[in-house]
Structure 1
Amino acid sequence: MTSGEPLGAQTSIRDVSQLGDFTATPRMITITALALPVGAVSAVVAWTLLRLIGLITNVVFYDRLDTRLVAPGVGHHNPAVLLLAPVIGGLVVGLMARFGSEKIRGHGMPEAIEAILLGGSKVQPRVAVLKPVSAAVAIGTGGPFGAEGPIIMTGGAIGSLFAQFLKMTADERKTLLVAGAAAGMAATFNTPFAALMLAVELLLFEWRPRSYVPVAAAVAVATIVRHPMLGSGPLFPVTGSLHIDLGTYALCVVSGICAGLLAIVATVLVYAAEDLFHRLPIHWMWWPAIGGLIIGVGGLIVPQALGVGYNIIGMELDGSIGLGLVVGILVVKTLIWSLSLGSGTSGGVLAPMFMIGGALGTLEAHIFPAVGPGFWALVALAGVLGGVMRSPMTGVVFALELTHRWGALLPLLIGASTAYAVSVLLLRRSVLTEKIARRGYHLSREYDVDPMEILFVGEVMVEGPLTFTGDVPAGDALAQVSGTDPQTVLYRRQMLYPVVDQAGCMTGVVTRTQLESAANEKRDDVAVGELALTDVVVADPDEILRVVVARMAEHAVDRMPVVDRHDRRRIVGFITVTMLLAARVRDLEEASHSERVLKVPRRLAASRHARPDGDDR
């Protein structure tokens, strides 16, 4: 019957043979095999959606049957078509959302995140059909959106539906959902690495082999399937050499600041527009049509701002776009995209951000020194993407894979990281997470190592807990833990007491509540061995705290005995939920406690101040 102090150091070598850098099981191979067809199907869906957008665009604006992906603004258009086509498209989307599924509203990624975090990664079958069709209608009739958001949601729906037909955990469904989403994105832009980065930074909410490997496999398959259908080259090939000096790197910081501020303006406009639409005294079904009217007015001013705009992005990146058009794109595209997206229509974020960021960079190219064709457009493109989506690494990799301009890696890193810093300092949430927050949920995108992953039970447990032999009367045991002296108070807080035999081996546990109940029932003489619970949940001193937390949650207990790893009946300590907080306390101290580790030696400091001229004589 002894108590101990927290165990500070191990006297023997800790057994860590059961631990590894990562946790992975053969189940990962099964999920990877299932992700392969998901990736292939998602690539086909991406190709189909792009062709459907091309078909609708050609029919509406060019009066021809063709599936090539084109954008409005090439040649002359009837003003009535420019004004009314987006209105009709918005009306169709509103009807589809009202009588089909409201989940098709928005740009896709918040909906995918919500399905992962709140819906057990379960997507309705109708979303897999209605989302791409509604996006094709919205974009094909002039909507200034990208196809990637709807493709991400559709690919995710395919992965989720596939998983729902099988017996899987929510985490496994999430993996296949993200595999489909990332595969669709890779197939759209021929950017497998960027799609994988987007999955890690935005959708998986973890960095584990169990999810990374299947998603990588799906992305690889989707990219391979894409090549014969959409080509294997970069979407926006750029040629010409770059002439980068030290001044260029400094100006990349300036470009990043501008891109971050523009990203904030665009995000604020989207949700300011959403707030305005919520105040309208009409059903939300009609909002996309009103958003379409805004698009139509913008199309009358700058027709090239309508549609996906890949041709405009290409002109920005190769430096062949005129200054007047750039100003029009920057102002009109930003306004009609943000205001119409706030109406709840269906469309993506990436392509508009490419065009808006490219326009900003093209303007900068008229001020900054020449570095190479489209260089500043590329830097600003990555910056705006990093600022809007709060995903700087995705922005950098996207820009590189879209153009294959690998020599711009460092400038892109500087610009995107600067924009990211500006965005996170001045705006609490991104365009992707604000929508989720407005529904009353909180999403954190910060990742760090859980301190419970690196601390062991033996480092926080109390050695030598109070134990009772099985023949001790319940009344005597209760009396021993009912005093007011400090040692007895510690015993009372233990609440769970191991019961041992004469050899000191644990036979069960008894709770303070059981002892009190026996006293209330006038059964003070009953032996604690008769009250003991024999199905005991225990911990091992060499286990990490995360494992113990999970075990406590699984068995609904908040304290447990710690037993020797070689003899599971020998008690070596005791651990409670409160002791587990020691890991958090250490983490908090590392984050908040400031100290000066190295100091200038006094003799050196004195010699510096002894003679200003440095002469020690």
Structure 2
Amino acid sequence: MNIEDIEITTEKEKGIRQKLVEWCKTHLTDKQFTLILSFFVGLFAAIAAFILHWIIKQIELLLTEGFDKDNLNLLYLVYPVIGIYLTSLFVRHIVKDNISHGITRILYAISGNRSKLKGHNCWSSVIASAITIGFGGSVGAEAPIVLTGSAIGSNLGQMFKMDNKTLMLLVGCGAAAAIAGVFKAPIAGLVFTLEVLMIDLTMASLLPILISGVTATCFTYIFSNGDSLFRFHLDGTWMMERVPAYILLGVFGGIISLYFIRTMNACEGIFGRLKERPYARLMLGGILLSTLILFFPSLYGEGYSSINILLNGKTEADWETILNNSMFAGHGNMLILYIIMVLFTKVVATSATNGGGGCGGTFAPSLFMGAFGGFLFARVWNMHGIGVYIPEKNFVMLGMAAVMAGVMHAPLTGIFLIAEITGGYQQFIPLMIVCICSYLTIIIFEPHGIYGMRLAREGKLITHHTDHAALTLMSLDSVIDRHFTSVRPDTELGMLIHSISKSRTDLLPVLDKDNNFMGEIDISKLRHIVFRTELYHKFKVAQLMSQPPCKLGVNDSMRKIMKQFEKTNAMMLPVMDNDNRLIGYVNRIHLYGVYRQIVADLSAE
């Protein structure tokens, strides 16, 4: 096929797409079309989740077929490093874009790019995370598949030229469908979208998100079997006598969450200093990860098999199987020590995987640490007879909810996700207690969850506060008027009059020969001399210019810009780059008009 044929094919595709868009707009209302798109977002997200897990399983089967799982094989130490290296090559040479921190990338897209995600995000995270996890990287598949689902929603919306508000909703539909598809948990998908992505809950948004989540769940059941992700049988019902233990577990979960977030940030800082040295990052991450897996094999891969051991153990012998393939094997008396060490090193292994060049999320690691933390809490409680006996397996489940709620600052997500994936609906009261206590503990030290803290530092985090959300969604670039008529400081009044006649505004910036901003001419202040021709050669711009009430910086947040207009009561303010060069002006009327329109869009059903 030659270039002409490709161009003709592209034009035909554009024509078909345009006709489809026109037909939909003619025969369907916007709400009806959004509901249809939400169904397809759910379908495609379920397919993406199935493909991801299928690839992971095939890679694992290919690499480990014939291995003796009862003994440590040295290849288990090599595989994760190979996976990180292959992933880094894929990202660097094929994707050529940053796809790490999947959920954070979604938040960036919502706040700063009008909910537009790149087309490659529909598949790149699936392949990258499949390679990383399939080779044993100590990360989860959830964040990459959430990014994939959101990208599917965003690109479908862009394809059919939906407005910004609908695009944001479709991004939320994709995230909800991804969570629902991975965990077979549609309610958790809905709650996650509301809590973490901050999509407002209205009747206009509730139904599309539910449709996406339920669709993804149903198709996931079709593609796979009907089992929950974790096998769990409740050990007795909840008791009032155990409420103190639930409260303390919640606090303990909050402390684990704080350790998780702080350690993750510290490790990212170390690897970030090696950003321009990919092979140094690979060496550091690979050596660190392999060493940890050598001592603690439970850190290999997502770790869901270890969680199932803790959830389903009934006797000491059952729980001690978690020591298999490690130097602790056969030493049941060291189970507590092993649990503590794995709990401390899991977040380091996750950071080493991603920092070394791998691709994966923190969703599964938070579940993993919660399970180990819950088991440790219950075992120590029972060993020392602190209070009434508490079932270890129940507290494994509760620990998962507590740490997830703390790490993500999403207590409702922790409650509903763990209830759905374990089938532990009878534990709703304990789940609520531990998640609330965990959240109240972590909020003292960290005001934002692990996904939103990077945006919060930059003032770009969307919240449910309408005013703050509107300012976050606004971009300075969209309100700058870059068309201005400038004058030199040595220009005489006579020549200034000609420049005034060409200007569209009442302000003319004064720039020197190097285009540095010197001041501005306010036409309203020249009325007493502008018609006196005898003064045209006696005054120069340098004598007539004044300084603006304040200058805006190109990196200023919209909240700061709004405050500057309120403080100065100015009609126009200049925007400067980092070298004191004028970029343009912001008009107060235009700024408030854009703000009011965004608030109206956010408030509309």
Q: 1:428 to 1:341 in 2, by over 3 A?
A: farther
Unaligned residue ranges in structure 2 (runs of 5+): 1-27, 321-334, 382-387, 471-522, 533-561, 563-569, 572-588, 594-605
Deviation readout 1:31-80 (Å, 9 max, x if unpaired)? 1111111111110110110010111122223359xxxxxxxx9432421x
d(CA) in 2 for partners of 1:212, 1:367: 43
Residue equivalent to 2:132:
138
1:95–1:285 contact (8 Å) kept in structure 2: no
> Structure 1: how far apart are the matches of 2:154 and 2:468?
32
Q: What residue is the counterpart of 2:157 in the other structure?
A: 163
Q: Distance in 2 between matches of 1:28 and 1:519?
A: 60
1:129 shift after superposition: 2.2
Q: Is the 8 A contact 2:462 2:468 kept in 1?
A: no
Q: 1:282 Cα shift?
A: 4.7
1:98 to 70, 89, 92: 92
Q: Where does residue 30 of structure 2 map in the other structure? A: 27
Whole-angstrom distance in 1 between the partners of 2:43 and 2:195: 23
Alignment partner of 1:377 out of 390, 396, 401: 396
Cα contact 2:268–2:351 (8 A) shared by 1: no
- Give yes or no for contact 2:85–2:358 (8 Å, CA) kept in 1: no
Q: 2:459 aligns to what?
A: 442
Cα distance between partner residues in 2 of 1:317 and 1:123? 38
Partner residue of 1:42 out of 42, 45, 54: 45
CA distance in 1, matches of 2:468, 2:57: 51
The structure-2 alpha-carbon separation of the partners of 1:98 and 1:117, relative to structure 1 and needing over 3 Å to count, comes to: same
Distance in 1 between residues matched to 2:33 and 2:107, nearest whole Å: 24
The question of whether the paired residues in 2 share the 8 Å contact of 1:89 and 1:292 is answered with no
Within-5 A mapping of 1:559-570: none
Deviations 1:509-564 (A, max 9, x none): xxxx99x9899989xxxxxxxxxxxxxxxxxxxxxxxxxx9xxxxxxx99xxxxxx
Residues 244, 212 of structure 1: CA spacing in aligned structure 2 closer, same or farther, 3 A cutoff? closer
Match of 2:248 in 1: 254
- Find the aligned partners of 1:44 and 1:121 in 2 and give their Cα distance: 22
* Alpha-carbon distance between aligned partners in 1 of 2:398 and 2:460, rounded to the nearest angstrom: 29
Distance 1:186 1:245 in 2: 31
Q: Is the 8 A contact 1:270 1:341 kept in 2?
A: no
Identify which range, 246-255 or 140-149, moves more after superposition: 246-255
Report deviation, 1:382: 0.6
- 1:219 to 2:225 alignment: no
Q: Between Structure 1 and Structure 2, how many residues are aligned?
A: 442
Against the structure 1 CA distance between its residues 253 and 98, is the aligned structure 2 distance closer, same or farther, given a 3 Å change threshold? same
Match of 1:119 in 2: 113
Aligned to 2:71: 76
Structure 2 equivalent of residue 419 of structure 1: 438
Cα distance change on mapping 1:125 and 1:446 into 2, 3 Å: closer
TM-score scaled to structure 1, two decimals?
0.65
Q: What is the CA-CA distance between 1:373 and the residue it aligns to? A: 5.3
Is the Cα–Cα contact under 8 Å of residues 192 and 219 in structure 1 kept in the other structure? Answer: yes
Contact 1:182 1:199 in 2 (8 A): yes
Distance 1:318 1:118, change over 3 A: same
Please give the per-residue CA displacement for 1:485-529, whole angstroms capped at 9, x wherever unaligned: xxxxxxxxxxxxxxxxxxxxxxxxxxxx99x9899989xxxxxxx
C-alpha separation in 2, matches of 1:364 and 1:119: 44
Q: Which runs of 5+ in 1 are unaligned?
A: 1-24, 65-72, 454-512, 523-548, 550-556, 559-575, 581-617
The DSSP-based 3-state class of the residue aligned with 1:442 is: coil
- Checking the alignment, whether the CA contact within 8 Å between 1:273 and 1:343 is kept in structure 2 is no
In the alignment, residue 73 of structure 2 is paired with which amino acid? N
- Supply the distance in 1 between the matched residues of 2:106 and 2:392 (Cα, whole angstroms): 37
Q: 2:346 maps to what in 1?
A: 333
Cα offset, 1:451, TM superposition: 12
Shift of residue 104, structure 1, vs aligned partner: 4.8
How far 1:450 moved relative to its partner? 6.3
2:451 pairs with one of 427, 432, 445: 432
1:357 pairs with 2:370: yes
SS in 1 for 2:123: helix
**By how many angstroms is 1:283 displaced?**
2.1
Q: Matches of 1:273 and 1:332 in 2, distance apart? A: 12
Distance 1:272 1:76, change over 3 A: same
How far apart are the structure 2 equivalents of 1:304 and 1:219?
Answer: 31
SS of residue paired to 1:280 = coil
Instruction: Give, in whole Å, the separation in 1 of the partners of 2:305 and 2:260.
Output: 22
Alpha-carbon separation, structure 2, partners of 1:344 and 1:432 = 19
Equivalence for 2:420: 401
CA gap of 1:428–1:288, structure 2 versus 1, over 3 A, is: farther
With over 3 angstroms needed to count, the CA separation of the structure-2 counterparts of 1:62 and 1:385, relative to structure 1, is same
Rounded Cα–Cα distance in structure 1 between residues aligned with 2:454 and 2:468: 31
Q: Deviations over 1:556-612 (max 9, x none)?
A: x99xxxxxxxxxxxxxxxxx99x99xxxxxxxxxxxxxxxxxxxxxxxxxxxxxxxx
d(CA) in 2 for partners of 1:370, 1:29: 54
Calculate percent identity across the aligned residue pairs: 24
Distance 1:445 1:75, change over 3 A: farther
Deviation of the 1:111 alpha carbon: 1.3
Q: Deviations over 1:144-166 (max 9, x none)?
A: 11111111111112122222211
Partner of 1:295: 289
SS at match of 1:39: helix
Does the Cα contact within 8 Å between 1:132 and 1:150 map onto a contact in 2? yes
Distance 1:175 1:288, change over 3 A: farther
Q: Quote the residue 1:491 is aligned against.
A: none
**1:357-407 deviations in whole A, cap 9, x for unaligned?**
000110111133433451111111111001100001100111100111112
8 Å contact kept, 2:56–2:133: yes
Return the letter of the residue paired with 2:71.
H
- Per-residue deviation, residues 392-445 of structure 1 (Å, max 9, x unmatched): 1100111100111112111111111111111111124322123435xx622446
Name the aligned partner's letter for residue 348 of structure 1: G
CA contact (8 A) 2:353 2:359 kept: no
TM-score (norm 2): 0.66
- Provide the rounded CA distance (Å) in 1 between the counterparts of 2:128 and 2:91: 8
State the AA in 1 paired with 2:458.
Y
Given residue 251 of structure 2, which amino acid in structure 1 is its aligned partner?
Answer: I
Residues 135 and 301, structure 2, Cα contact 8 Å, conserved in 1: yes
Aligned pair in 2 of structure 1 residues 61, 327: CA closer, same or farther (>3 Å)? farther
Return the alpha-carbon distance in structure 1 between the equivalents of residues 77 and 224 of structure 2.
31
Secondary structure of the residue aligned to 1:122 is coil
Equivalents in 1 of 2:395, 2:280: separation in Å?
40
Secondary structure of 2:450 counterpart: coil
Is the 2:268–2:355 Cα contact (8 Å) retained in structure 1?
yes
CA distance in 1, matches of 2:527, 2:311: 79
Distance 2:466 2:128 in 1: 41
2:202 & 2:300 partners in 1: Cα distance? 40
- 1:137 is paired with a residue whose SS is helix
Distance 1:335 1:392 in 2: 24
Match of 1:366 in 2: 379
> C-alpha displacement at 1:342, in angstroms?
4.1
Structure with the largest fraction of helix: 2
In structure 2, the residue corresponding to 1:354 is in which secondary structure?
A: helix
Secondary structure of residue in 2 paired with 1:28: helix
1:178 Cα offset (Å): 2.1
Separation (CA, whole Å) in 1 of partners of 2:344 and 2:44: 38
Measure the CA separation in 1 of the matches of 2:434 and 2:462: 21
Whether the 8 Å CA contact 1:242–1:371 is kept in 2: the answer is: no
User: Does structure 2 retain, via aligned residues, the 8 Å contact 1:256–1:418?
Assistant: yes
The alignment status of 1:110 with 2:104, answered yes or no, reads yes
Q: Alpha-carbon deviations, 1:153-184, whole Å to 9, x = none? A: 11112122222211111221222222122212
Tell me the SS of whatever aligns to 2:140: coil
Structure 1 counterpart of 2:100, one-letter code: G
Q: Give the direction of change, closer, same or farther, for the CA distance of 1:136–1:436 in structure 2 (3 Å limit).
A: same
